[in-house]
Amino acid sequence: MTTTTTTITPLDPAPARVGIAAPSADGALLGAHSADHYADLLHGVVDALAERFRTVDAPSVGPDRAQLAARVASTDLDGAGVGDVEALRELDDLYARNAVWFHHPAYLAHLNCPVLIPAVAAEAMLAAVNTSVDTYDQSLVGTLMERRLVEWTAGRLGYAAGDGVFTSGGTQSNLQALFLAREAVLRRHGGERAELMPRLRVLAGPAAHFSIGRAAQLLGLAPEAVQTLATTADGRVDPERLAEDLAALDAAGDIVLAVALTAGTTDQGLIDPLRPLAGICRSHGAWLHVDAAYGGALLLSERRRGLLDGIAAADSVTVDFHKTFFQPVSSSAVLVRDPASLAATSHHADYLNPAAEALGPEAEPNQVDKSLQTTRRFDALKLWATLRSVGPDRIGEMVDAVCDLAAQVHGLLEDAEDMEVLPRGDLSTVLFRFRPAGVDEEEADRLVPLIRRILMQSGRAMVARTTVDGRAWLKLTLLNPGTRVDEVTAVLDLVRATARGLLAGAALAATEETR
């Protein structure tokens, strides 16, 4: 037949399917009629992924970016669709096949962790149930469970009372913490907001996460409002200089919005000396925020929790569960020492959490009162599954394992004649670079980004790169407690071979130029 008409006639079967259980469940919403299809489809996805975990032999297959871009661009997103099974099969081939595998022992780049299986299962649960922990009437037990985990975390910090809320990540936790600090300081000073705002200052160490500066900008502060604190020679914020800086700000008529310290800097894993710094903040009346996105899990380590000594004096703390608690993205929390300080976040909407109700005897425990988000994932469920499954001590041991591994790798690099290494931090990163005799600082700098890119393109190993005091360094972030030291040295050998190849290529090019 050559007819070209596309008019839907009453004989077309499609309209008749509307509103009833489709014979094929493709396109079905998850519900009673589609429960079998849901189970089949997800079992298939889990089986395919399990096979990838069984067989993946490198952090990535080293896909060509232009080819990936072409495949992504050429996928038809406007057609009728290929059905659920085929769509998921396609994703296994396009996404899973070309993904980065953080569990692989040669993945040593960023703060991405391998994930605990009970947490992954809980992630599947919370996605299917689709709870939103904004109001009690949308979550019921979910709200109570999240509150219990906030209390648990506050207790681990050493807060007598404390409160907080789960967030999407450390970036959002830092933003909310500084927002609460801003509101607290403006309330305390009284007077005109417009007059006070230009006088507000955030003090942070030089290696504070960039989200601190961006939060300050989002909160309406000028770029110069973020002042960099002096450090001691080891790179940690210097308590004596903090005292001087606070006094100088007072003298200038400026107002401290917050002192933002870091418990585990992203690059070097340095923990600022929290107890002495907290004492200075306290005597000055300055809000202390501690960004423990990376180092927070040390609270669970028998051997290392002393490194966070003093954290209980912080007014607010950021903890990322999706880093050192081995949770799937996203899972983070902001905690506050004084539960009343969270009130600045509250907004009462008539349709959601009316103010009158919040005061009455029937008040419901609405988490939206404490969050910058409205609709919000029930990420807490993953941490709950983890704590019930393996307990916090096990997480502490896993954190110790990666810190111990970093110490071991650091020792090897110190002994290596062809490598330069920065002093050891407190957590699980190692910063180093290839610099044998005859390679000067500038050449070592030039090699760093090239080595990272060549390794990434090969897919065989992934390392990160960063800059410290103007010089380029390769970075290993060790977050897999199952990784053995020989697996890391294999990556170091790849770094060496790559660097030698680059140097040989450069030497060859130089001789050809002089010909």
Ligand X SMILES: *Cc1c(COP(=O)(O)O)cnc(C)c1O
Contact 245, 227 (CB under 8 A): yes
Backbone phi, psi, residue 477, to 5°: -110, 110
**Minimum CB distance to ligand X, residue 89 (Å):** 31
* Shortest distance, position 429 Cβ to ligand X, whole Å: 10
CB closer to ligand X out of 135 and 318: 318
Site membership for ligand X, residue 102 (CB under 6 A): no
Residue whose C-alpha is closest to residue 104's, from 493, 407, 480, 465: 480
Considering only residues 173 to 212 of the shown chain, the ones binding ligand X according to CB under 6 A are 174, 209, 211
Q: Name the residue with tokens 């790559």.
A: 498
Select from 52, 51, 58 the least CA-distant residue to 457: 58
What does the alpha-carbon distance between residue 246 and residue 202 come to, in Å, rounded to a whole number? Answer: 11
Site string for ligand X, 140-179 (x = CB under 6 A): -----------------------------xxx--x-----
Shortest distance (Å) from residue 465 CB to ligand X? 16
- Binding to ligand X (CB under 6 A) within 106-125 occurs at 111
Task: Determine, following the binding rule CB under 6 A, whether residue 262 of this chain makes contact with ligand X.
Answer: yes
The yes or no reply on residue 369 touching ligand X (CB under 6 A) is: no
Which residues are within 8 A (CB) of 134 and not within 5 positions of it... i.e. 6 or more apart? 352, 366, 367, 368, 371, 373, 374, 375, 376
Task: Find, among 327, 344, 323, the residue nearest to 378 by Cα.
Answer: 327
Min dist CB 290 to ligand X, Å, is 10
What is the rounded CA–CA span in Å between residue 229 and residue 203?
6
Q: How far is the CB of 408 from ligand X (least distance, A)?
A: 22
Closer of 294 and 432 to ligand X (Cβ) = 294
Q: How many helices (H) and strands (E) does the chain have?
A: 16, 12
Closer residue to ligand X, CB minimum distance, 212 or 281: 212
266 part of the interface to ligand X, by CB under 6 A: yes
Q: Which residues pair with 468 in a beta bridge?
A: 471
Half-sphere exposure of 290 (CA within 13 A, CB side): 29
Token pair 């949770």: residue: 327
How many chain residues touch ligand X (CB under 6 A)?
Answer: 15
- Give the residue, chosen from 134, 320, 379, 400, that forms a contact with ligand X under the rule CB under 6 A: 320
Residue 469, Ramachandran bin (φ over 0: left; ψ between -120 and 50: alpha; else beta): left
Which residue, 249 or 293, has its beta carbon nearer to ligand X? 293
Residue 272 within binding range of ligand X, rule CB under 6 A: no
Nearest distance, CB of residue 463 and ligand X, angstroms: 17
Least distance to ligand X, CB of residue 174, Å:
6
Shortest distance in whole angstroms from residue 263 CB to ligand X: 8
Q: Which of residues 293-312 bind ligand X (CB under 6 A)?
A: 293-294
Question: Residue from 135, 268, 332, 371 that binds ligand X (CB under 6 A)?
Answer: 332
Q: How many CB atoms lie within 10 A of CB 245?
A: 21
**Closest among 218, 171, 226, 180 to 200, alpha carbons compared:** 226
Residues that bind ligand X (CB under 6 A): 111, 169-171, 174, 209, 211, 262, 264, 266, 291, 293-294, 320, 332
